[in-house]
Amino acid sequence: MRDKEETRSKILEAVGKILEEEGFQGIGVNSVSRKAGVDKVLIYRYFGDLPGLLREFASSGDYWPSMHGLIENAERTPLPPESSDLALALLKGYIREIRNSPSAQELLLGELVSRNELSEVSAMKRERQGADLIEALVSAAPDAGKVDVAAMGALLSAGLTFLMLRARNSDAYLGIDISSEEGWERIERAMEELVKGVLDNGQ
């Protein structure tokens, strides 16, 4: 008590907790203050208003799985691989990261639903990391100069994202059982075929 910094951090932590437990829709002045065990007036005192709180949470939080770790892991795979291997390693790593991070899923969903302070900042962060990812992918696929790697990456990662978000509320999508590991193995295999078909066509 009587510790401004601790109170501030309790509030910021409460935002993260609510994001994981109830989703972005559950975030509000009342719910956050309740979760933090703190009077809501302190939110206004320390962060101005709710957008201010979200802005600060978004800019100083480690709620987003690090794509850089993803890239580094992928680059550390034994070389020389097929030119499609790096791409597939990246995409599979993406699946693993997001499926295991409920708060990342909430952020992605929040970006889809509405434009607010939180979604703005998280979208910017992700865009920047995504650009690095695409760059790594393009530079690592030497013979991929004639295909639009960025567009393909966008389309495939978007598909994976959609399916992961959808699996939260639904069991199936177009007949694929996205709630089971078998379903996801089908998705991954389909993705492999698609990527290999276009990147390793010379083989």
Partner DNA sequence: AACCTAAGTCACCATCCGGTGACAGGAGGG
Partner DNA sequence: CCCTCCTGTCACCGGATGGTGACTTAGGTT
Contact positions vs a second copy (CB under 8 A): 25, 109, 111-115, 119, 123, 127, 130-131, 133-134, 147-148, 150-163, 165-166, 168-170, 172-176, 186-187, 189-191, 193-195, 197-198, 201
Distances (CA, A) of 174 to 106, 171, 200: 23, 10, 28
Select 47 or 94, whichever has its Cβ closest to a second copy.
94
Select 6 or 182, whichever has its Cβ closest to DNA.
6
- DSSP bridge partners of 26: none
Can you give 64-79 as a three-state secondary structure string?
CCCHHHHHHHHHCCCC
Q: Which does 49 bind (CB under 5 to 8 A by kind): DNA, a second copy, none?
A: DNA
Q: Does 49 bind DNA (CB under 7 A)?
A: yes
Q: Is 78 exposed, middle or buried (0-12, 13-18, 19+ CB in 10 A)?
A: exposed
Q: Which does 69 bind (CB under 5 to 8 A by kind): a second copy, DNA, none?
A: none
Select 13 or 177, whichever has its Cβ closest to a second copy.
177
CB 109 within 8 A of CB 23: yes
- Which stretch, 2-10, 108-116, 124-132, 181-189, contacts DNA (CB under 7 A)? 2-10
- The rounded distance, in Å, linking the Cα atoms of 53 and 27 is 11
